Structure 1
Amino acid sequence: MSESSQATTHPGDPVRPLLATPAQIAAERTLLRLLDDPLLAELRAEIRKELADTPRGRSESGAATLDHAVDEWTNSLIMAEIAVHQEIPAIILVTDNTPRTWMGHTVPGIGTSGDNPDAVYRLAVIDGTRRYEVTGRFDMANRPAQVTLELHRGSKVSPPPMDGKKSDLTPLASISDRDLDVAPDGTFRFTIGPNPEGAVHMSSQPGQLTLGFRDMLDDWTQQPCALELHPLDSTPGLHASDADVLQAIQRDLPPYIRFWSGFPEGWFGGLRGNAITPVQGRNGSLSGFIAALSFDLADDQAIVVTTQPNDAAYSGFQILDPWMIGADVTRHQVSLNTAQSRANPDGTVTCVISKSDPGVANWLSTAGLRQGLGIVRWQAVPGEPDVAGFVREFRVVDAAELAQLPDLIRVTPEQRAEQLAARARSYAVRAS
């Protein structure tokens, strides 16, 4: 990791996208260098062969998406190792299933499990015995629907055991943007360390910790907040070479991929066929609710799902492959949030999940797959809502019945093309 992640900018330098911090670009360039390692290619091939012989790997849709999943998990582990081996801790964007081209290079998709395209996932790995300050700024005219901040033990490299009924681990500390003291110009500050220091503080414990951030975008024209991490103590810098990081990757990649490839088996107790779980509460700062679903559709079948937004600050619905990896959201309409959906007259939202385009505005594409998984999320829901009313309808229909449903909002092929083009344009905003 010879390229410094702490490079500074100077007056007259070209304006960078908000997320393209020096640490971010250094991490991405390191990722691209490490991906060229021939031993890593051999290791990925061995892992792929192992997974191809599992029931999920032998299924039609699992086999079709296995290469993509292994690529995304590999990139995810490499970014996690880079975060651990940074010379000085810095906040970097570590997850985005959709590739992006910027700053003179193309970053491949980086995915783990159920990664939400409406979320901007950033993290820093810190020492729990030391003190830090985080400063940030919101674009007050384009502020995210919600920002969650969590402090967890360990790092993303070695996922700890997870409760199969929940989607998130219980953090050491968690806050949201509602807890921050945000100035009129959008700036804010909070501290992290063993003892409280500022008005807004996250208490740490000894050991390696991960500070995670999620900007939830209910509209893709919203902007993630600017963030900087400042060590307040004298911190001895790490001096890890590419060879050091590669050695760690070669050690950690097999268990990492085995964990995440097997995660769908226990997720919400394991889902099969065409089914949806009861709505459940979420842990930590997400302060919301989640439902999981699976689908196994014939070519002429679809699933009709009607949900109630419940005045949530953020609500979104996404489709995943059998490995819980998402497709490129700029090419496939595999997710819909509040801004992208067309509501029914009563405020509910009806979506149609299908392999081929049914000509419905709220189509959730399976990206050509017959089998896969899905997630519905509601975050920052006011009051104490009755979860029984969150999902109003979930049923399988054939193409003939779908064509006759009277209340679905329809679109023409030209309108669909513009809908997809608008997705690509708005998704690019976060990288601008």
Structure 2
Amino acid sequence: MATQDQLAAEKLAIAVAQAPAVIAAKATLKATWLAAAQATGGVSNEALTNLDEAVDETVFAYALSLASGDASAPKVVSFLAAPHNWYGMNVPGSRTTFDNPDTIYRKIPIDPASSYVLTGTVHAHKPVDFNFSLYSNTSATLSNLAGDQLSTNADGSFVINADSSSTGPGNHIQLVSGAASIFVRDTINEWGVQQFNSLAIKRVPSVSTQAQSADTLAATLAATLQTPAAAAQFVGYNTLGYAQPVNTLPAPSLGGTGGRLANQAATYSAFQLADDEALVVNVNLGGAKYFIAPAYGRWTITTDYINHTQTLNNAQAVPNPDGTYTFVVSPKDPGVYNWVDTVGLHQGFLNLRWQGLPATPAAVGPSATAQLVKLSDLGSVLPSTTKYVTAADRQAQLAARAASYASRYAP
């Protein structure tokens, strides 16, 4: 992950995000989010304490996107990440609109009239799922190249040609009219073991370009933040989360709009929990290779998933004997291993996701149910095989989690 392009982009994005014009423009984005949230679901005083942090991280995500170059000389830069410190930089978080700690996201700007060559390596301990999605400028998916469709050499290396031709040798992405970026997702469920793919891109033929200054990018970002499009994803997902009663889960749906992964099943919902309440969530994987149960704050981002079990995937959680999973979502520790910790938050969102679904749908597809219960009543609704933990067990679980994450940003 620590490529020269990544480090340079982070350094540039820090300067862009700190520009006075960008700081002033954040107010417009914040006001739009707040109005949308107040109109749908309401906003607690607790949620207000996290609003500035969420706006700051979204703005930094925009800054990183601008710092990744343009279609004439694109760079591979990851974002939607938690704050991290490496190579002498304190890098702000860039989490926005349902970030996933199991996934690194890389958005590469492209011009459909140009040609590009992506090169990379799938390492020995490869991601459980990865995808190359061709996006329009509104993040509509135009096509998707899944990892199991990618041809690699014996050493894991690969080449993808991206151009306007309808077919091409080997791995190929057709750049159709309206294409604006290639959005890459690498997803792991065994932190510290599985490795994200290496990736680079070059335009063919290459052109000589002059990098835009931090001042120029700041002016662009400040103008962008004051447009309705800047808040569109939050507004859309906020509406989606409150499209059904709180503490319920609609049936999972496949694909969709708003930048969702085309071959992923997902369900969205808002939660509202008291200190003595929990949601018991029962999940069937439906043959998926990967599943995650994450809790988000009111502003659709995680808070501290490194030191808390704010997200649990199918490798981190303990399954039931029949292969299903049962999770307890609550602000207070329920004493069960599969605790999705809201990190003290009482209002927020759930966004359950299934990836790596079988080509032939399983007899029983992805599903999830949620039941609101009192913490004191958990024993009457949890499976008899539920794994419970002591305080020492919990500390060991959290220590192992933090250690497995630490290698991600180790120099």
Q: TM-score, normalised by structure 1?
A: 0.86
Partner of 2:361 in structure 1? 384
Q: Is the 8 A contact 1:264 1:323 kept in 2?
A: no
1:372 matched to 2:348: yes
Cα distance change, pair 48–378 in 1 and its aligned pair in 2 (3 A): closer
**Residues 298 and 60 (structure 1), Cα distance of their counterparts in 2 relative to 1, 3 Å cut:** same
Q: Please give the alpha-carbon distance, in whole angstroms, between the structure 2 residues aligned to 1:250 and 1:389.
A: 42
Letter of the structure 2 residue corresponding to residue 118 of structure 1: D
Which of residues 411, 415, 421 is equivalent to 2:389?
411
| Aligned equivalent of 1:224, options 182, 185, 196 | 196
Given that residues 313 and 381 in structure 1 are in contact (C-alpha distance below 8 angstroms), is that contact kept between their aligned partners in structure 2?
yes
Taking the aligned partners of 2:188 and 2:313, their CA distance within structure 1 comes to: 9
- Structure 1 residue 93: Cα displacement: 0.4
Match of 1:164 in 2: none
Please tell me whether residue 258 in structure 1 is matched to residue 231 in structure 2. yes
Deviations 1:316-370 (A, max 9, x none): 1111112211112112211111110011111111100000111110000111111
Contact residue 129 and residue 194 of structure 1 kept, 8 A: yes
Aligned 8 A contact 1:61 1:369 in 2:
yes
Which residue number corresponds to residue 181 of structure 1?
A: 151
Does the 8 Å CA contact 1:57/1:66 hold for their aligned counterparts?
A: no
Report the secondary structure of 2:97's partner residue: coil
**Within the alignment, does 1:153 sit opposite 2:136 as a pair?**
yes
| Distance in 2 between residues matched to 1:346 and 1:267, nearest whole Å | 32
Cα displacement string for residues 245-280 of structure 1 (whole angstroms, at most 9, x for unaligned residues): 011011001335432331233326734421111111
Q: State the shift of 1:61 in Å.
A: 4.1
CA distance in 2, matches of 1:411, 1:286: 37
- Secondary structure at 2:49's aligned position in 1? helix
Cα separation, 2, equivalents of 1:192 and 1:389: 33
Distance in 1 (alpha carbons) for counterparts of 2:393 and 2:143: 45
Structure 2 unmatched runs, 5+: none
| Partner residue in 2 for 1:34 | 16
1:361/1:409 contact within 8 Å kept? yes
Q: Is the 8 A contact 2:241 2:349 kept in 1?
A: no
Matching residue of 2:117: 133
Whole-angstrom distance in 2 between the partners of 1:218 and 1:202: 27
Task: Provide the C-alpha distance between the structure 1 equivalents of 2:352 and 2:232, rounded to a whole number of angstroms.
Answer: 23
Does residue 426 of the first structure (1) align with residue 404 of the second (2)? yes
- 2:51 corresponds to 1:73: no
CA distance in 1, matches of 2:365, 2:45: 34
- 1:157 match: none
Q: What amino acid does structure 2 have at the position aligned with 1:73?
A: T
Which string of whole-angstrom CA distances, capped at 9 and with x for unpartnered residues, describes residues 294-319 of structure 1? 21111100010111223312111111
Residue 86 and residue 106 in structure 1: after superposition, are their counterparts in 2 closer, same or farther (change >3 A)?
Answer: farther
CA distance in 2, matches of 1:20, 1:47: 31
RMSD: 2.2
Distance change (3 Å), C-alpha of 1:84 and 1:268: farther
Change (3 A) 1:75 1:272: farther
CA distance in 2, matches of 1:82, 1:419: 37
CA distance in structure 1 between the partners assigned to 2:169 and 2:131 by the alignment:
18
Identity of aligned residues (%): 28
The structural deviation recorded for 1:385 is: 2.6
**Structure-1 residue corresponding to 2:255:** 282
Residue from 84, 95, 100 that aligns with 2:84: 100
The answer on whether the counterparts of 1:279 and 1:387 sit within 8 Å (CA) in structure 2 is: no
3-state DSSP class of the match of 1:127?
coil
Question: Do the aligned partners of residues 269 and 294 (structure 1) sit closer, same or farther apart at CA in structure 2, a change above 3 Å counting?
Answer: closer
What SS does the aligned partner of 2:48 have?
helix
Which residue of 1 is the match for residue 334 of structure 2? 358
Deviations 1:39-98 (A, max 9, x none): 3223324543564455167423431321121111111111122235487211110221x1
Paired letter, 1:229: I
**Aligned twin of 1:323:** 299
Contact 1:153 1:207 in 2 (8 A): yes
Matching residue's letter, 1:30: L
What corresponds to 1:233 in structure 2? 205
Secondary structure, in 3 states, of the residue corresponding to 1:245?
helix
**Deviation (angstroms), 1:210:** 0.6
Correspondence for 2:216: 244
Sort the Cα spacing of 1:271 and 1:117 in 2 relative to 1 into closer, same or farther, 3 A. Answer: farther
Match of 2:26 in 1: 44
CA–CA distance in 1 between the matches of 2:244 and 2:87?
41
Letter of the 1:410 partner, please give it. Answer: Y
Aligned 1:283-362 pairs, distance under 5 A: 286-362=262-338
* Partner SS for 1:26: helix
Number of residues of Structure 1 aligned to a counterpart in Structure 2: 398
Partner Cα separation in structure 2 for residue 282 and residue 139 of structure 1: 27
Please state how far the C-alpha of 1:206 moved relative to its aligned partner: 4.6
Give me the TM-score of the superposition, normalised by structure 2.
0.90
Partner of residue 6 from structure 2, selected from 24, 27, 30:
24
Instruction: Measure the CA separation in 1 of the matches of 2:277 and 2:242.
Output: 25
SS at match of 2:25: helix
Displacement of 1:181: 1.1
Distance 1:289 1:211 in 2: 20
Matched residue, 1:5? none
| Structure-2 residue corresponding to 1:165 | none
Alignment of 1:115-134 (within 5 A): 115-134=99-118
After superposition, the C-alpha distances for 1:218-261 in whole angstroms (9 at most, x for unaligned) are 21121001011122223342431111101101100133543233
Q: How many angstroms apart in 1 are the aligned matches of 2:92 and 2:8?
A: 15
What CA distance in whole angstroms lies between the structure 1 residues aligned with 2:184 and 2:390? Answer: 39
* 1:110 equivalent in structure 2: 94
Q: Which letter maps to 1:226? A: S
For residue 90 of structure 1, what is the aligned residue in structure 2? Answer: 75
Contact 1:69 1:325 in 2 (8 A): yes
Letter in structure 1 aligned against 2:362? P
Deviates more, 1:380-389 or 1:357-366: 380-389
